[in-house]
Amino acid sequence: MQAKGSPANPYNVAIVGYGPVGAALANLLGLYGINVLVLDREGPAYHLPRAVHFDDEVMRVIQTIGIADEMAECVHVNPGMKFIDSDGNLLLEWPRPPEISAQGWHPSYRFHQPDLERLLRNALNRFASVDVRTRCDVVAIKDRGDNVELTVNDLTSGETTTLVAKYVVGCDGARSFVRDVIGSGLEDYGFHERWLVVDVLLRKPKQELGDFSIQHCDANRPATYVRGTGNRRRWEITVHPDETDADLTSAAGTWQLLSPWLSSEEADIERSAVYTFHSCIAKKWRDGRLLIAGDAAHQTPPFMGQGLCAGIRDAANLAWKLTAVVRNKVSDDLLDTYQSERHPHIRAYVEMSVKLGQLINMADPTQAIEAAFPRPDGSAKMTSLAPTLGPGVGLPGLANIRELAPQLQLSSGQRIDDISGYQFVLICEEALLNETNVNLSELTAFGLHVVSADKEPAAATHLSSLKVRAVVIRPDRYTLGRANSPHELAALCCFTRSLIMPLTSL
């Protein structure tokens, strides 16, 4: 047997970058038994906090990966966000209800990014098909047409080697090398600002800081407060153009800025650093055998806490498509639907985050808030975005929905994702199935999970909410298509077969 990564035995997928997005993608590919190589120039995961929020959809991907129980132990349920003016008046509220959402999880979580990265990395130990090489810098990439060559500098041994993979995904962060090789420019959404990010560890509880995130709309010094997990608290504070990073990140400079809320006797600074928040989306997410995901493909100001969330969604969208393609059973045109579906979705978040950033920066945001957010009961309330995917995987004539599907709670008490895994699900009325000439046993052998709306009340409720008799849900939990007649169900099942069959290694 030739060595893995040699031209005769290429990896199916090489992932450049072992941040959260690369690690999530490797896990999802590992679930299908795909041969994966993960490369990162760093050794351990980045140990300081960055992302502090993720949503229920991301928790669902974490559940699919199989680490939700561990993750749930290190999160804090987030009650929401408030925008207040410099006098403390409430301008706008974004409540995140404490109830379990249709996704089967709380709508919004606070977390510590290193906890998630640790769990994602540990979970990869399950997969014999996934190799991880840290302290390996990818310095050149060549798409040879039938595979891709990566030149890798091993920073421990000093050796340079060439490794071969069928596809390469750059999860290599905001300054992505893979994006450069693809030759993608960036669409600019207009927000680029320096903010000081300070994480502190409280020495003792300070209840008055509260659980809500607070956007301080103070034109002199806009700032964000975020309650983290445990005794972690975060402030993100605007930097003025004439201020130097060194002045603000010094202990004296940082405590001066934190003084409205906290004194140096009450907490220890874990990290104080100036970041430039960007708003941009790569123009081209794929070129031949090269793709990008996560911060490599898009960057958003953090006001909605969606940068990492979007990257995890990229991974969930891409992994099943890549699997189908690397098994040589479908055209690689399927990979073009990755950008066409994901781009409009992340654009909705980038645009809203930019809008929120502008509001926070305004001298008097009241009018802008009134114009942007309706006040049905006299108080301005923001609701969560729920963008649909852009056009992508679909059969002409098939009614595609492209919405995120709920996670059904079955009468056994189990949740559908725990049973289906990272696979397709058909929810259907039995009468419609009986009227349709479909070889269901073949589809279930390929991994399709079928839920009867006659036996499962949650399934019946879902179908009736859509006014349909059957739906198919994809492995990333977006709806593939719906059917109301035997003819439509036959077409939907036939289309599902063309997508599910390539996912099996049989």
Ligand X SMILES: Cc1cc2nc3c(=O)[nH]c(=O)nc-3n(C[C@H](O)[C@H](O)[C@H](O)COP(=O)(O)OP(=O)(O)OC[C@H]3O[C@@H](n4cnc5c(N)ncnc54)[C@H](O)[C@@H]3O)c2cc1C
- 186 sits in which H/E element: strand 186-188
Query: By C-beta, is 92 or 304 nearer to ligand X?
Result: 304
Q: Does 255 bind ligand X (CB under 6 A)?
A: no
Contact string 141-180 vs ligand X (x = CB under 6 A): ------------------------------xxx---x---
CA 73/CA 69 separation, integer angstroms: 7
The phi, psi pair for 425, rounded to 5°, reads -130, 135
Contact of 43 with 144, CB cutoff 8 Å: no
Query: By C-beta, is 307 or 481 nearer to ligand X?
Result: 307
- CA distances (Å), 271 to each of 15, 180, 236, 277, 336, in order? 29, 30, 12, 17, 40
Q: Does 294 bind ligand X (CB under 6 A)?
A: yes
Q: Residue 34 carries which side chain, given as an amino acid letter? A: I
The span of 38-46, 61-69, 319-327, 485-493 binding ligand X (CB under 6 A) equals 38-46
Query: By C-beta, is 314 or 429 nearer to ligand X?
Result: 314
CA 22/CA 173 separation, integer angstroms: 10
Task: Give strand ranges (E) for 41-103.
Answer: 53-55, 76-77, 80-85, 90-95
CA 324/CA 106 separation, integer angstroms: 32
Q: Residue 95 carries which side chain, given as an amino acid letter? A: P
Q: Does 40 bind ligand X (CB under 6 A)?
A: yes
Residues 6+ apart with CB under 8 A from 19: 40, 45, 46, 117, 171, 173, 294, 295
Query: By C-beta, is 54 or 478 nearer to ligand X?
Result: 54
Q: Which of 26, 31, 39, 425 binds ligand X (CB under 6 A)?
A: 39
For residue 274, count CB atoms less than 10 angstroms from its CB and return exposed for 0-12, middle for 13-18, buried for 19 or more: middle
Q: Which of 275, 340, 381, 418 binds ligand X (CB under 6 A)?
A: 275
The span of 2-10, 49-57, 157-165, 480-488 binding ligand X (CB under 6 A) equals 49-57
Contact of 194 with 239, CB cutoff 8 Å: yes
Which residues inside 387-446 make contact with ligand X, applying CB under 6 A?
A: none
CA-nearest of 357, 366, 82, 55 to 209 is 82
Measured CA angle at 285 (ends 284, 286), to 5 deg? 95
CB of 294 vs ligand X, minimal distance in Å? 2
Q: Does 238 bind ligand X (CB under 6 A)?
A: no
Q: Does 302 bind ligand X (CB under 6 A)?
A: yes
CB of 162 vs ligand X, minimal distance in Å? 14
The span of 33-41, 61-69, 214-222, 264-272 binding ligand X (CB under 6 A) equals 33-41
Q: Which of 22, 222, 447, 475 binds ligand X (CB under 6 A)?
A: 22
Which residues inside 101-130 make contact with ligand X, applying CB under 6 A?
A: 113
Query: By C-beta, is 295 or 417 nearer to ligand X?
Result: 295
Supply the angle between the helices 307-326 and 20-31 in degrees, to the nearest 10: 30
The span of 15-23, 203-211, 280-288, 414-422 binding ligand X (CB under 6 A) equals 15-23
CA-nearest of 308, 309, 317 to 339 is 317
CB of 451 vs ligand X, minimal distance in Å? 31
Q: Does 80 bind ligand X (CB under 6 A)?
A: no
CA 20/CA 40 separation, integer angstroms: 12
The span of 20-28, 255-263, 433-441, 483-491 binding ligand X (CB under 6 A) equals 20-28
Which residues inside 338-357 make contact with ligand X, applying CB under 6 A?
A: none
The dihedral through the CA atoms of 314, 272, 115, 225 has a sign that is negative
Query: By C-beta, is 297 or 443 nearer to ligand X?
Result: 297
CB of 113 vs ligand X, minimal distance in Å? 6
CA 78/CA 58 separation, integer angstroms: 14
**Which residues are registered as beta bridge partners of 150?**
141, 163
CB of 115 vs ligand X, minimal distance in Å? 13
CB atoms within 10 A of CB 444: 13
The span of 94-102, 302-310, 379-387, 426-434 binding ligand X (CB under 6 A) equals 302-310
Q: Does 200 bind ligand X (CB under 6 A)?
A: no
Q: Does 41 bind ligand X (CB under 6 A)?
A: yes
Q: Which of 50, 96, 227, 342 binds ligand X (CB under 6 A)?
A: 50
Tokens read off for 487: 């003819």
Q: What is the contact surface with ligand X in residues (CB under 6 A)?
A: 16-22, 39-42, 50-54, 113, 137-138, 171-173, 177, 197, 275, 294-295, 302, 305-309, 311
